[in-house]
Structure 1
Amino acid sequence: MKKYVLTTCMALTMAASQLLAQGDPKATEVWSPVPKIVTPGKTAADAPSDAIVLFDGTSLDKWVSTNDNTKPADWVVKKGILTVNKKAGNIQTKQSFTDYQLHLEWRIPKNITGEGQLRGNSGVFLASTGAGDLGYEIQILDCYNNTTYVNGQTGSVYKQLIPLANACKQPGEWQTYDIIWTAPRFNTDGSLKSPARVTVLHNGVLLQNNVELKGATTYIGAPVYKAHGASPIKLQAHGDPSVPISFKNIWVREL
């Protein structure tokens, strides 16, 4: 049987070589595996058919408190919009994810005050690895005519990677993030096997192009990796004195 399989493979290889020699385009056609069918949403922002809708404007039943995973997420849901409740702290998904495509929309209040980092500060953590600000943060901030350190502005991998552009809309307008996340992998002894990578588009503008992360986000000191597996997605209640920001239309596709 083994000899038969080898003979068949050799015959197919020879046949393909002959087609290539003859200039036949069929020699380079691949017919399997066939990609699965995914029905897109009506618009680019709408969830495709295989997406997990994390917030549809009606409830936070897919989320819990980061400080206490046994408690529900206590942010404000009103008229289809989710608004940060800084007193309740961060919230994260009940479900854990590894690699994924994430879409979310956020809005800085029109009457925002403050400057620098105290101007609508929040963030999306692509893998929440603890109750504190642990994980891998894509910064959310009003950088429309607002100056701050560049590795902390909108679309940065916070305190690590500077965005390629500033694509901020003015406060009061809805903005979008589309993020492709490849989680880090670790060896059995906890050492890093392969680093995390991320691509970020802000309002359709590329800010991070499949960049390699140096580790999890830290406010003080260099980023560092600590072994983890599939993890929740977290939204940050920064707690600054500015008017809290809002979110809507959050969905994820596992990759």
Structure 2
Amino acid sequence: MAACLLAAAPAFAQAAGDHARDPKTTEVWAPVPTIVATPVGIAPSDAIVLFDGRDVSAWESEQGGRVPWSVADGALTVVPGSKGIRTRQSFCDIQLHVEWRTPVETKGFEGQNRGNSGIFLQALYELQVLDSYNNATYANGQAGSIYKQAMPLVNASRAPGQWQSYDIIWKAPRFSQGGGLTTPARITVLHNGVLVQDDTVLAGKTEYIGAPSYAPHACAPLYLQEHDSKVSYRNIWVREL
């Protein structure tokens, strides 16, 4: 009996070794990922197009009603003294692409007064839009910052008047049934293709004065800020994750 087992052992070892060397043992065939078409210069096929250069039907004034900004030459431009705008649809976890441009004229403007706007995720958490090209301001308030919370890893700003882009991965915060925070919000941002926020954990909603904090909320609209500057936007699309 013992002799038989000893004789069989090399055969079992060889079989186990052959199995370990078989590439099929680590191949996964299902489920098959959904096909998403990605034409050059066009939003992915599964994206929700929020602004295509003409149509603003996805947006409304922050108070509801007509969008108070101007649309010309494929761009949606802030009208200073009006109000911000928000999407009619609410979002939680998303991939967001936004292109933006600050005014060419900078004479007499500096710091936070130069090309200021903002992209608010879930209407509460601000990714700063600002002309930060040779324009000194506090680091957690420049372009690419999570306003008053997290400075960007680098300053990837282009000169005023040039189009810039943000590519954003947003993970919404989660709350318990009792209203307590279970998972904080997280954000990754590429500014002009350069990583400026790397899975940054947010301490709460954006505050101009005081420390950020959380309060329970559901999915909410995207919001673009009006901050007394003629900042323009174009090619805005979102993918729900």
TM-score, with normalisation over the residues of structure 1? 0.85
Matched, 1:82 2:80: no
Matched with 2:99 is: 105
Letter matched to residue 59 of structure 1: D
* Residue 19 to residue 164, structure 1, CA distance change in 2 (3 Å): same
- Deviation of 1:109 (Å): 1.2
- The CA distance in 1 between the partners of 2:152 and 2:236, in whole Å, is 22
The SS at the match of 2:76 is strand
- The CA distance in 1 between the partners of 2:212 and 2:133, in whole Å, is 27
Matched, 1:63 2:59: yes
Q: Which of 216, 226, 234 pairs up with 2:223?
A: 234
- Deviation of 1:18 (Å): 4.9
* Residue 19 to residue 75, structure 1, CA distance change in 2 (3 Å): farther
- The CA distance in 2 between the partners of 1:210 and 1:20, in whole Å, is 41
- The CA distance in 1 between the partners of 2:100 and 2:168, in whole Å, is 14
**Paired residues for 1:163-242 under 5 Å:** 163-239=152-228
Farther off after superposition, 150-159 or 83-92 = 83-92
- Deviation of 1:93 (Å): 0.2
- The CA distance in 1 between the partners of 2:30 and 2:159, in whole Å, is 47
8 Å Cα contact 2:19/2:25 also seen in 1? no
Matched, 1:127 2:122: yes
Name stretches of at least 5 consecutive residues in structure 1 with no aligned partner: 1-16, 129-134
The SS at the match of 1:103 is strand
Letter matched to residue 139 of structure 2: V
- The CA distance in 2 between the partners of 1:219 and 1:74, in whole Å, is 24
8 Å Cα contact 1:20/1:27 also seen in 2? no
Farther off after superposition, 111-120 or 158-167 = 111-120
* Residue 188 to residue 245, structure 1, CA distance change in 2 (3 Å): same
Q: Percent identity?
A: 55
- Deviation of 1:187 (Å): 0.4
**Paired residues for 1:4-43 under 5 Å:** 18=16, 21-43=19-41
- The CA distance in 1 between the partners of 2:175 and 2:18, in whole Å, is 42
8 Å Cα contact 1:19/1:27 also seen in 2? no
Larger radius of gyration: 2
8 Å Cα contact 1:19/1:26 also seen in 2? no
- The CA distance in 1 between the partners of 2:208 and 2:90, in whole Å, is 24
- The CA distance in 2 between the partners of 1:85 and 1:110, in whole Å, is 16
- The CA distance in 2 between the partners of 1:232 and 1:19, in whole Å, is 56
Letter matched to residue 135 of structure 2: N
* Residue 76 to residue 35, structure 1, CA distance change in 2 (3 Å): same
Name stretches of at least 5 consecutive residues in structure 2 with no aligned partner: 1-14
TM-score, with normalisation over the residues of structure 2? 0.90
- Deviation of 1:42 (Å): 1.4
- Deviation of 1:19 (Å): 7.5
- The CA distance in 2 between the partners of 1:22 and 1:36, in whole Å, is 30
Letter matched to residue 30 of structure 1: V
Deviations 1:89-144 (A, max 9, x none): 1100000011111011111111124111110110000111xxxxxx0000000110
- Deviation of 1:191 (Å): 0.6
- The CA distance in 1 between the partners of 2:34 and 2:103, in whole Å, is 40
Letter matched to residue 219 of structure 2: A
May I ask how many residue pairs the two structures share in their alignment? 226
Letter matched to residue 254 of structure 1: E
